[in-house]
Structure 1
Amino acid sequence: MVLHCHAAVVTISTPNLAKLSQFYSDLLGMGPHIYIEGVYAEFQLPGLQLGIFEPRGGDRQEFSSPGGAMSLCLQVCYLEKAIENLVELGYPPPGEIITASHGREIYAYDPCGNRIILYESQTNPKLDS
């Protein structure tokens, strides 16, 4: 049997939905298009929905795990501007820009310690940001 998928949503669990939703609102320059206080926030990105949820009390253990297993990769037009934004938000990337086969990238972390990889593709022309 083939899975017929119509959409994909990446979700991040957090014990503090308000804080993490505000971080991603500030980082992405947009508010969530769905927000249910204390329960769920969803951002509509090009080609992806990013959901953030606060697990219910009995489910918290199931959704707690050490960071590093998953990375949210966001392609940006200007890597230095994206880094400046993270610094302004109080979450500066701890390392340096890396040159990879697909372009330049840097690792950063959201307030809950989830890894964010910001990358600037070497093949895509610069767009207005």
Structure 2
Amino acid sequence: MGIKVKYQAAFVTLAAANFEEIVEFYAQLLAIAPNPYRPGVYAEFAAPGLRLGIFKPKSSHESEFLPQGSGSLSLCFEVTNLEEAIAHLGQLGYPPPAAITTASHGREIYAYDPLGNRLIFHQSLEQVPKN
């Protein structure tokens, strides 16, 4: 059966250049405050059955998150081992087109499903082995 990736969680993220406006909208819509919340960087909402993250893309990546017909929605999978996830994607015939990047919250790689939807595989800093 091949490599078995151990998924920690799956959650929805939205890229928002107008970060504060979108965070405020979801805070009001869901009637909850974001937690964690890093002003101008990241906000997360946890509601029953939903974990929604909102982030402001780095200026060097903004074009990656521009709406392309289906919007700026990304499906994120938090994994315990990013290299295993990359190998699994390769086995499925959808290898990530670029290298692993490091963000303030951990390491990640972008991949795309058969329809072209963005998938972000993320390994938190707590899961990254120490050298």
Question: More relative contact order in 1 or in 2 (CA 8 Å, sep 6+)?
Answer: 2
Once the two structures are TM-superposed, the CA of residue 68 in structure 1 deviates from its matched residue by 3.0
Q: Say how many residue pairs are matched.
A: 71
TM-score in terms of structure 1 length: 0.50
Q: Which residue in 1 is equivalent to 2:15?
A: 13
| C-alpha distance in structure 1 between counterparts of 2:72 and 2:17, whole Å | 18
| Number of the residue aligned with 1:26 | 28
The separation in 2 between residues aligned to 1:19 and 1:65, in whole angstroms, is 17
Change (3 A) 1:64 1:70: closer
Partner of 1:2: 4
Identity percentage of aligned residues? 39
Report the AA paired with residue 18 of structure 2.
N
Q: Aligned equivalents of 1:58 and 1:70: distance in 2? A: 16
Residue 59 of structure 2: aligned partner: 57
Tell whether the 8 Å contact from 1:8 to 1:48 is kept in structure 2 after alignment.
Answer: no
- What CA distance in whole angstroms lies between the structure 2 residues aligned with 1:23 and 1:70? 16
CA RMSD of aligned residues (A): 1.8
Residue matched to 1:85: none
Gaps of 5+ in 2: 74-131
Query: What is the DSSP-based 3-state SS (H/G/I as helix, E as strand, rest coil) of the residue aligned with 2:12?
Result: strand
Q: Quick one: structure 1 residues 49 and 29, their matched pair in 2 at CA, closer, same or farther if it must change by over 3 Å?
A: same
